[in-house]
Structure 1
Amino acid sequence: MKLTDLKVKNTKPTDKYQKLSDGGGLQLLIYPVRKNPKSSEDKPLPDLGGGKEWKFGYRFGGKQKTIALGTYPSLTLAEARIKRNEAKTLLSGGEDPSLYVTKKAKKAAVVQAHAVLQIAEDRLFHHVAVEYLDSQKAVHTDKHHKKLEGWLKNDVIPWIGKRAIDEISTPDMHGVMKRIEERGVISTAHCVLALCNRIFRFAVVTGKIDRNPCVDLQGALKPVQGKNFAHITEPKDIGELLRRIDTHRGTHVVRSALILLPLLFSRPGELRQMEWSELDLDAARWTIPKEKMRKGKREHVVLLSTQAVEIIKGMQPLTGELRYVFCGANDETKPMSDGAINNALRTLGYNTQEEITGHGFRHMASTLLNEMGFKGDLVEAQLSHKDKDKIRATYNHAKYLLERKVMMQVWSDYLYALKQGTDILEFKKVS
C-alpha cells in the first residue's frame, strides 16, 4: 500500500527500526531511539542520524543494492518518488543508480567547495584592491593607473595581499606604512596610505567590511618635508637653456609647450590641459576653471605677454579646431602626455633630477622675480599659491591683475633678452 504524507508525518520513532514501503523499491527507514542510561532523556542512536531516511532498493548485476535518497522532512514523499523514478530510469538504461548518485554528490561537493573558495578569494585584500582600481579606470589616466598598481604591488600586496580584508587591523596597516617610511620615501608613504584608505572605504561601501582601519592612522606618519624641484637661476644658464629649447626636434606641440612654459611658469599639468575655450587672446588672458586648479577653490587668471600670445596663436592652424591647445600625439581628443615636458628636457641633455624639471620653471621665476623687486604677493598670485587670508586673497585677486600683466611682460622680455645672449649682471629694481 502506497504511503501518504500524513502516514509519513505521524509515524514516530520507537525503540525498534521501522520500514514503511511506498512500492517500486522506495522505503522510509525510521531509526529507533534508546534510553540514555545516565538520564531519562531520549536520544537517537549514534551514527545513524536519527529521524527518518528515504531508501531505494534494487537489483543490479545480480546483486541486491540500496542507495540513500535523503532524509525526511528535507526530502518530501513526492520528491522521494521523483528520485526513485530517476533511479529506475537509469536501471532501465543499464546504469547503476548508486554510481550516478556518487558522481552527483561529488559534483555538488566540488561546486560547493568552489563557491566557498570564491567567497574566500573575494574577501582577500588583493582582490578588493583590484576591484577598486577597476572601478576607477574611467577617471584615471593609464599612467596614473599603473602608478597605483605599482604602489600596491611593491609596498602593500606582499604584506597583506593574501589576508582577508575584514581581518586587517589598524596596527597591520601602520606596519605597512612604517616599512615604506624606513626606505626614506615619506611622500610615497602618504600617497600609499591615501590609496589604501580609498580601498578600505570602497570595501565599507560594498559591504565587505564594517570599519576602515586606515581612519586612525591620520597623523601617524612622518610629515612630508618641502621639496624644491630642480631649477636654474643663473642668467647665463637660463639663456643657454632657452636656446636649447628652440632647437628641440620633437613635435611642434611639445616644442611650443616647452617654449611657453618658462614664460607662464604655470604648473606643467595645467599647461598641458590648456583648452582653447579658456583663452581670450584679445585680452591676453588664460582663465583656468577652478575644477582644474589644485583643491578647486577658485579659478585662476594667467596674464599673457605678447610673446606668449604669439606662441599660442602659432598653435591655431594645428589644434585650433580641437579641444586642447597641446593635444596628445596618439589621441587628439586628449591632452599632451604629462611626461612630455620632462622627456623633452632630457633629450636636450638636462638631468631632470638635478638640473631642471618642468615644475622647476616656477621656482626659477619666483626666485628671479623677487630679486628683480616685484612684490612677493604679485609673484605668489601669479603662481596661484593659496593666500591664507581669504579677504586679502579676494582683494588681491582683483587688485593685482594690472600689475601682474606688467610683471609678466617684463619677465618675458627678460627671458628673450637672455636667450639672445644679453649679459645681465644686475637687475633693475622695480618700484
Structure 2
Amino acid sequence: MPLNETQLRKTKPREKSYRLFDGGGLYLEVFPSGAKLWRMKFRQASGKESRLSFGPYPEVSLSEARERRNEVRALQRAGNDPAQARRNAKASRQASALNTFEVVAMLWLEKTKAERAETTRRKIFNWLRKDIFPVIGAMPIADIRPRQVLTALRRIEDRGAFETTHNVKRAVGQVFRFAVASELADRDVTRDLGDALASVPVGHYAAITDPEKAGALLRAIYGYEGHPYTIAALKISPMLFQRPGMIRAMEWSELDLDKGEWRVPGTKMKMENDHIVPLPTQAIEILRAMQRLTGRGAYVFVGMRSHDRCMSENTINAALRSMGYSKEVMTGHGFRAMARTIMDEVLGERVDLIEHQLAHRVKDPNGRAYNRTAHLPARREMMQRWANYLDRLRLQTL
C-alpha cells in the first residue's frame, strides 16, 4: 500500500533499521537514531541490483521522492543507467559551481587581451570588480538570469553613470558569449534586458572656449602646485587636445622626441585606426623633462601609487576642481572643445586639419578615409601655431 504523509510523520525509530515501501522500488529507511532516508532500489541492464538515495525526510517530501523515482524509471525505459546519469549530473553540477561568472570573466579577459589595449583591459576589469563581481561573481554562469545581471547594472546606473552602465553591460554580454562558445552557458542573458536601462543623456563635456577665459585657465595651470606628473599632464593636455584616456596612457615607446611625433596604435583609438600627433616644441620640452622622471618605465604619466600603471582617470579633473574649476565649467575632455572652437573661429585653421588632429574620421573627396599620415606637414605647422598661441594667451601678449 502506498505511503502517506500522516503515516510518515508518525513513524518512530526502532531498535533496528526498517523500511516502509511506497512502490516502484521507492522506500523510506528509518534508522534507530530517528533519521529517515529516502531510497530506491532498481536493477541495472546487467541484472545487478543497485540503490539510489534521494535525501532525508522531511527535507525531501513524499511527493518529491516519488517525482525522483519517476525520473529514474523514465531513464530506465529510455535505456539509460540511472546511477551513471546521477554521476554525470553531479559532475555537471560540480563543473558549473567551478565556472562562476568571475572565473569565466577573468578567463575571457586573459584569452582576449591581445584584442585591446592594456588600459582598456584594466578599465573593464575594474568595472567588473567594483560592481559586477560583488553581485553575480560567485554564481555559476550557467545559472545567472537577466534579473540578476540587471540588479548588478543598477548599482552603476544609480550613481548616474549611464554611459558606463551601458559599457559594462556590453562587457558582461561579451563574457556570456564567450561562455556560450566554451559550452559553459546556454545563452547571453544580457540580450533579454532590452530597454531596462536608462538611456545615455545627450550632452557635451564642459569646456572653456572663450580665449580670455582660456588664458586665465592656462595661467592657473602653470601656477598649480600639485604633483609634477599632474602638472606636466595638465600643461600638455591643451597643447595636444587628445582624449584624456590617451594622454594619461601615453607610453614612451610611442614617442619619437627627436622627430617630434607621438604615434598612437589603433588598439588604443576609439576608431581603431593608428593616429599621429605632431609635437610642438613646447610639448617636446615638457616630455623631455618627464623622461628624466619616468623614462625607465612604460608610461609617461605614471600613477601616484604604482609606476607600473598609468595616471588615474580622475587625476586631471581633480586638479581642475582644486584650481576652482567645477565640472560644469571645465573638464579634462573639454580641452578638445577648446581647441576645436578657438582654432576654427578665432585662428581660422582648416577644419579638416583640426578634425584629423582630434582623431575624428575625415574622408577624402572620393568618400574614403584619409590614412594616418595625411597632411602631416600641414598639421605639424598647425600644432606649432596652436602651442604658440596658447603661450600668448597665457602671457597676455596677444
Q: Same fold (TM over 0.5)?
A: yes
In structure 2, the residue corresponding to 1:315 is in which secondary structure?
Answer: helix
In structure 2, the residue corresponding to 1:187 is in which secondary structure?
Answer: helix
The residue number in structure 2 matching 1:336 is 311
Amino acid at match of 2:336: R
> Which residue, out of 260, 273, 281, partners 2:257?
281
Q: Report the CA distance between 1:304 and its aligned residue.
A: 0.9
CA distance in 2, matches of 1:312, 1:239: 22
In structure 1, the residue corresponding to 2:277 is in which secondary structure?
Answer: strand
Q: Report the CA distance between 1:119 and its aligned residue.
A: 3.9
> Which residue, out of 130, 136, 140, partners 2:102?
130
The residue number in structure 2 matching 1:58 is none
CA RMSD of aligned residues (A): 5.2
Taking a change above 3 Å as real, the CA distance of residues 262 and 164 of structure 1, as seen in their structure-2 partners, is: closer
Taking a change above 3 Å as real, the CA distance of residues 119 and 186 of structure 1, as seen in their structure-2 partners, is: same
CA distance in 2, matches of 1:277, 1:180: 35
**Bigger CA radius of gyration:** 1
The answer to whether the 8 Å contact 2:278/2:383 transfers is: yes
Say whether residues 1:198 and 2:174 are aligned partners. Answer: yes
Structure 1 segment 178-257 matched on structure 2, within 5 A:
187-215=163-191, 224=200, 226-257=202-233
The residue number in structure 1 matching 2:331 is 357
CA distance in 2, matches of 1:387, 1:231: 23
In structure 2, the residue corresponding to 1:314 is in which secondary structure?
Answer: helix
Deviates most, 313-322 or 390-399: 390-399
Q: Report the CA distance between 1:300 and its aligned residue.
A: 0.5
Give deviations 1:351-381, integer Å, cap 9, x for gaps.
1x21111111001000101112111111100
The residue number in structure 2 matching 1:305 is 280
Taking a change above 3 Å as real, the CA distance of residues 403 and 256 of structure 1, as seen in their structure-2 partners, is: same
The residue number in structure 1 matching 2:352 is 377
Taking a change above 3 Å as real, the CA distance of residues 254 and 46 of structure 1, as seen in their structure-2 partners, is: closer
Taking a change above 3 Å as real, the CA distance of residues 46 and 313 of structure 1, as seen in their structure-2 partners, is: closer
The residue number in structure 1 matching 2:64 is none
The answer to whether the 8 Å contact 1:181/1:189 transfers is: yes
The answer to whether the 8 Å contact 2:124/2:168 transfers is: no
The residue number in structure 1 matching 2:127 is 147
Q: Report the CA distance between 1:204 and its aligned residue.
A: 1.8
Structure 1 gap segments, 5+ residues each: 1-44, 52-68, 81-101, 425-431
> Which residue, out of 245, 261, 274, partners 1:269?
245
Taking a change above 3 Å as real, the CA distance of residues 251 and 180 of structure 1, as seen in their structure-2 partners, is: closer
The answer to whether the 8 Å contact 1:319/1:327 transfers is: yes
Q: Report the CA distance between 1:291 and its aligned residue.
A: 1.6
In structure 2, the residue corresponding to 1:257 is in which secondary structure?
Answer: helix
Amino acid at match of 1:303: P
The answer to whether the 8 Å contact 2:262/2:279 transfers is: yes
The answer to whether the 8 Å contact 1:151/1:192 transfers is: no
The residue number in structure 1 matching 2:383 is 408
Deviates most, 242-251 or 206-215: 206-215
CA distance in 2, matches of 1:176, 1:291: 29
Taking a change above 3 Å as real, the CA distance of residues 168 and 337 of structure 1, as seen in their structure-2 partners, is: closer
The residue number in structure 1 matching 2:392 is 417
Deviates most, 203-212 or 300-309: 203-212
CA distance in 2, matches of 1:337, 1:236: 30
CA distance in 2, matches of 1:415, 1:349: 20
Structure 2 gap segments, 5+ residues each: 1-19, 27-38, 61-85, 114-119
In structure 2, the residue corresponding to 1:294 is in which secondary structure?
Answer: coil
Taking a change above 3 Å as real, the CA distance of residues 229 and 299 of structure 1, as seen in their structure-2 partners, is: same
The answer to whether the 8 Å contact 1:128/1:203 transfers is: no
Give deviations 1:168-212, integer Å, cap 9, x for gaps.
46x998999899989986535533431342243244234343333
Q: Report the CA distance between 1:47 and its aligned residue.
A: 3.5
The answer to whether the 8 Å contact 2:179/2:185 transfers is: yes
Say whether residues 1:258 and 2:234 are aligned partners. Answer: yes
TM-score (ref. length: structure 1) = 0.61
Taking a change above 3 Å as real, the CA distance of residues 150 and 219 of structure 1, as seen in their structure-2 partners, is: same
CA distance in 1, matches of 2:311, 2:157: 33
The residue number in structure 1 matching 2:30 is none
Taking a change above 3 Å as real, the CA distance of residues 334 and 189 of structure 1, as seen in their structure-2 partners, is: closer
Deviates most, 389-398 or 264-273: 389-398
Deviates most, 316-325 or 262-271: 316-325
Q: Report the CA distance between 1:250 and its aligned residue.
A: 2.3
The answer to whether the 8 Å contact 1:166/1:208 transfers is: no
CA distance in 1, matches of 2:205, 2:94: 46
Question: How many equivalent residue pairs?
Answer: 333
CA distance in 2, matches of 1:248, 1:144: 32
TM-score (ref. length: structure 2) = 0.66
